[in-house]
Amino acid sequence: GDSVTQMEGPVTLSEEAFLTINCTYTATGYPSLFWYVQYPGEGLQLLLKATKADDKGSNKGFEATYRKETTSFHLEKGSVQVSDSAVYFCALIGGSEKLVFGKGTKLTVNP
């Protein structure tokens, strides 16, 4: 079945550092890919998405590119802020139309 594997955390960075959180997937067909973010004590918010190969999703300085040849959707940000501290989930929707999540990566950004 469909699955998502993402980099295990926790990840701790200093403010203004470069962020990469790796995400790879297994799915039949052409899934849509997502990154969700969960701030402490809150639900999940959609951060960005891409629905076909080579699409780049972007939001709030975060970017991810749908790479079909490597089945990847890595999340990047050039300069993280303390306010980016959260848990990040990579996810896909495939043929089953159910959202399949990775296990989440906790990011802590220190001033």
Strand partners, 33: 50, 92
CB hemisphere CA count around 69 (13 angstroms): 1
Query: Which of 28, 46, 53, 61 lies at the binding interface for another protein (CB under 8 A)?
Result: 46
How far is the C-alpha of 109 from the C-alpha of 92, rounded, in Å? Answer: 26
Q: With binding defined as CB under 8 A, does residue 2 bind another protein?
A: no
Q: With binding defined as CB under 8 A, does residue 42 bind another protein?
A: yes
How far is the C-alpha of 71 from the C-alpha of 66, rounded, in Å? Answer: 8
Q: With binding defined as CB under 8 A, does residue 66 bind another protein?
A: no
Q: With binding defined as CB under 8 A, does residue 73 bind another protein?
A: no
Q: With binding defined as CB under 8 A, does residue 101 bind another protein?
A: yes
Q: How many CB atoms lie within 10 A of CB 27?
A: 19
Q: What residue ranges bind another protein (CB under 8 A)?
A: 32, 34, 36, 38, 42-46, 49, 87, 89, 93, 97-99, 101, 103-104, 106
